[in-house]
A and B are shown apart, each in its own frame.
Chain A
């Protein structure tokens, strides 16, 4: 062996580096390391030979040998890293999924369009200081008609074709027939009486109502939200202001509001409120029958007699009231043309919302 000339070192180095280059796995790298740098490795053996050289030869040979060791170690470490990188890449490749397969969607249910509409309307009013009130659906003639200024024989009763039920009013209520309420307006009377003269009265009352009517636009069961504000100095201007704000929040900031004189026995003056058509922006379309306006609610100033029935003095306080069809809002918003779809419960319909 010629430790002095360096030829040996070069041969070992070249062979080791070549073996390192050919290795493709961590195990092969380990074999190379053992073969050259292990206890019985070729380089280890050669270095052991350096001890037998003369003291003068030893330093140069030792140095050359150690350089070769360093070179091999560096090469092995580098190669090992390369192999690890390649293995990671391969592993990631193996773990690759078909991203076009469907995701696992959480099975979350769908809120009914009527609930969504009701909640939206409720939120608008609660943000304007209205509390949410409630009343029974089986109502007495007195609350449903009499106290709302519709005595027996009143022509407006003809528009409230009622379902009657076989029950009697409670012991502390005026006698009379019981029916499924035809509007949410009885809550006006109930709430005013519960407030016992306190001011203000500021509520909305959503709920189911019933009339004997059945076609694509009328269901025997439908939904209304009642509103009532009673206080000192409440004027028609307040009614207009509140409703204009509600129309904008419900149908969009561009929405205009128009009031037309109308008739309800429990309000005077009375009005029908139209919102500018959300579909055609007022230019006329099939939904608004070409008029550019869509009827959204009936309203007016609370009739003095209704205030009296509620226990308030019409000379002291005034108020406004309105009733909005929730089904109608939902039908407009989601473009539902047959009201019966709302109640049928076909999940293919319900899951669209």
Chain B
């Protein structure tokens, strides 16, 4: 909604400037988005009659116009196609200042000097109308008039951004004026609307109105006018329509639009002579009934739609759009002016179904003040009389049961309790009265509040309490802090797992990213997923805006790979990223999907790039594995309890020899690996990426333990090394298990520290060196250590597939 201040001033007075007004309205909930000052600085622009138009002798596209403004004449070169002799145009002669500050002079166009310019609406800062001169209407203006004043070119316009609740009562100058009046504690006045009626003939005798469905059309007011002459609207009306963003088109429609903007009541005019039987009827459409709306489209109606029909059929979709057949044209001389109330949900539904969001429908859909039906009809009649020379027949046709006033009971206690304010019940009433509510006392603490017709948004007690709140002013309401016990927060193990995963991963050098929760189907093909792969069992978005929003992710890894690919495209040498987020797992029966939380990590290149005195730390399989081991260890899941197994076929995106699943007691906790060479290529990565995913829910499910203090060893430890020969595919973990089994309780720690393959070893064999630490709560003798160590050596040398390397 756009509100020209000069128009608003016709309804209400205030002293403050536009900025103060805007902030006062905003503070009342009528949000002023901006103050539009299209014509600020304009000066010296006058109305001028074009007396002759010649084609430019050199530049055939240009025309030379001789213009007259009062006693002043001039020669202006212009390129507008609509320049024509006799036209009244806006002339900015030399010395005039255009909106925006440009001062005009004399300028030559292909050797013909031009004295200033003739202006288009755009050049004057008026909305609408491009590619031509502003054509001033013949009536109400004459050449020589100062247009800056007449057009209110420097008039500020408030641009409102209305919330749905205020859309009803603030979509009019009158509505905004009521809010201004409540602010200034003044009164909003409506301009007088007393058309001079033709005393002889009455509207009722000239036409008939019948309502078949009072539920959908509780009130229909009609006025009849005759003897209309079509012409452009007076300058003031045309300009105001333009200021409000509507294109003036002349005649009756400009007036009905003007009254709608002014009073908030949509009006519709029918050509009286084209209404068959001089009758209008508000009825339900027949199923499949058709109407050609005045935009020329065929519309098929439903029984839920309300139409206005004459003796032959529908002439309008009630409250939404008029029909072609009885529409007002420049030839129309008599009209039936409709000012009705239609059921809001019904209009909203029809407008939405037919995709016809007209200004009228928007207002009816929010609810229209029944009390304004007659005044709006009278105001339009008066303006049509002034502008189109209409003869207004006496009285109006009033049909329908009308709309009953609504009452709401307000409890003062409730208002005070919700707002946290000391305010007597009577004062609550005074605030509401200022906003147009009628108040009656109803017992000691109760008010019976009558809701004015223009406030369809106010439906219950809390709505009244909000009205009191905004009348008092939100800034004037008190401040307090809640007392009482805070809620009890139970420790959430998933959150603990998440926090630990996060801090360890950050510390390990991975940077957090937030990829989208959705992706397109083609990502799966780049991941080598078979059509039946579980990742493809995704929840689909049924109305995505683009193809890459089609599916909810079933793994964090596709998003992370795309992130790596983006960084690789941007020439990044090393990249390591992670995300903690949800995936969406389709329920087999199509019901509510599961949304487990996961940690996803991915990287290529180095975690710690090499420096001038340090080799690089690569982001590879073992980097991710180590990260997962560290996270799990800190959550109380020690490396000895985790089972790592290669699982090549479950994750086809991974290198079949460099991928693993981690399980604890059969529960899958995570998986990781390096990308399959085809995936590396499909994502254009500079080299293989290492990546993995950890199920935080499953991890948290394994009872996260608080670490317990252990006694620190007081006696020195003894270290022995052990090199074991084994086949390449013999798991080192099995050797470790064997060592632990046979060592006895003196063995404190055993870990592999070197893996070697070389020509002196048999083909397909490798040597793994283990460091063993023996320790006890006393000083160990060499003999004791030697005995334990020998036990281990013996066990290994006897084990099939293992041998000691000397």
Interface residues of A (CB under 8 A from B): 101-102, 104, 106-112, 114-115, 126, 128-132, 136-138, 140, 153, 155-156, 163-171, 173, 178, 180, 200-203, 208, 210, 212, 214, 220-221, 229, 231-238, 240-242, 244-245, 258-263, 268-272, 301, 303-304, 318, 342-348, 350-351
Contacts and interface: CB of A to CB of B under 8 A. Distances in A.
Contact of B607 (A107, A130, A342): A107
B591 A130 contact: no
A250 B545 CA distance: 34
Contact of A236 (B419, B487, B510): B419
Contacts of B518: 221
Given A242-B482, A268-B463, 9 more contacts: A107-B607, A108-B507, A155-B365, A164-B543, A178-B592, A220-B516, A229-B482, A235-B418, A345-B562
A344 B495 CA distance: 25
A304 B459 CA distance: 13
Contact of B474 (A104, A260, A351): A260
B202 interface: no
Given A108-B506, A201-B487, A343-B516, A271 B474 contact: yes
B587 A167 contact: yes
Contact of A235 (B29, B417, B511, B591): B417
Given A107-B617, A236-B420, A269 B576 contact: no
A261 B517 contact: no
Interface string B533-545: 0000001111111
12 contacts: A104-B613, A109-B505, A115-B502, A130-B487, A155-B348, A166-B539, A236-B421, A237-B420, A258-B27, A261-B466, A270-B466, A346-B566
A259 B593 CA distance: 39
A258 B475 contact: yes
Those 5 A-B pairs whose CB atoms lie nearest each other, nearest first: A129-B486, A235-B420, A261-B29, A237-B420, A107-B509
Contacts of B509: 106-109
A262 B466 CA distance: 10
A237 B612 contact: no
Contacts of A210: 517
B590 interface: yes
A347 B577 contact: yes
B511 A262 contact: no
A136 B544 CA distance: 20
Nearest to B601: A109
B118 to A, nearest CB: 35
B578 interface: yes
Given A268-B462, A270-B466, A262 B29 contact: yes
Contacts of A268: 462-463, 465-466
A318 B515 CA distance: 38
A269 B418 contact: yes
Interface stretch (B162-170, B184-192, B265-273, B400-408): B162-170
Residue from the set A214, A234, A236, A350 with the largest chain B CB neighbour count within 10 Å: A236
A138 B590 CA distance: 13
Contact of B592 (A131, A168, A233, A241): A168
A153 B418 contact: no
- Chain A residues touching B, majority SS: mixed
Interface string B445-479: 00000000000000010110110011000110111
A153 B592 contact: no
Nearest to B518: A221
Interface string B489-515: 100100100000010011111111111
Contact of B542 (A136, A137, A166, A214): A166
Contacts of A114: 514
A19 B118 CA distance: 111
Contact of A214 (B514, B545, B576, B611): B545
Nearest to B469: A269
B796 to A, nearest CB: 38
Contacts of A104: 611, 613-614
A261 B28 contact: yes
A163 B540 CA distance: 10
Given A138-B595, A261-B28, A238 B513 contact: no
Given A164-B541, A212-B543, A269-B465, A109 B578 contact: yes
Contact of B477 (A164, A168, A203, A237): A237
B517 A241 contact: no
The listed residue with most B CB atoms (<10 A of its CB), out of A112, A126, A351, is A112
A58 B460 CA distance: 130
B462 A138 contact: no
Contact of A163 (B165, B167, B544): B544
Given A180-B541, A241-B482, A245-B481, A346 B487 contact: no
A107 to B, nearest CB: 3
A351 B511 contact: yes
Interface stretch (B51-59, B227-235, B567-575, B742-750): B567-575
Contact of B488 (A112, A131, A234, A259): A131
Contacts of A180: 517, 541, 552
B784 interface: no
Interface of B: 26-29, 31, 163-167, 345, 348-349, 365-366, 417-421, 460, 462-463, 465-466, 469-470, 474-475, 477-482, 484-489, 492, 495, 502, 505-518, 539-545, 549, 552, 562-563, 566-567, 570, 572, 575-578, 582, 584, 586-587, 590-593, 595, 607-608, 611-614, 617
The winner among B541, B586, B612, B617 for most chain A CB atoms within 10 A is: B541
Contacts of A178: 592
Nearest to B167: A155
B487 A200 contact: yes
A111 B506 contact: yes
B539 A138 contact: yes
A126 B489 CA distance: 9
A203 to B, nearest CB: 7
Contact of A101 (B419, B495, B586, B612): B612
A320 B684 CA distance: 51
Contacts of B345: 153
B482 A263 contact: no
A171 B591 CA distance: 8
A163 B545 CA distance: 9
Contacts of B577: 345, 347, 350
Contacts of A301: 418, 462
Nearest to A301: B418
Contacts of A111: 506, 512
A138 B593 contact: yes
A173 B591 CA distance: 10
A238 B482 contact: yes
A263 B545 contact: no
A234 B507 CA distance: 43
A173 B489 contact: no
B477 A236 contact: yes
A175 to B, nearest CB: 11
A216 to B, nearest CB: 16
Nearest to A203: B487
A67 to B, nearest CB: 53
A248 B624 CA distance: 41
Nearest to B29: A261
A170 B592 contact: yes
Nearest to B578: A109
Contact of A164 (B482, B487, B542, B608): B542
Contacts of A236: 418-421, 469, 477
Nearest to B619: A107
A94 to B, nearest CB: 17
Contacts of A138: 539, 552, 584, 592-593, 595
A135 to B, nearest CB: 9
A336 B612 CA distance: 35
A129 B487 contact: yes
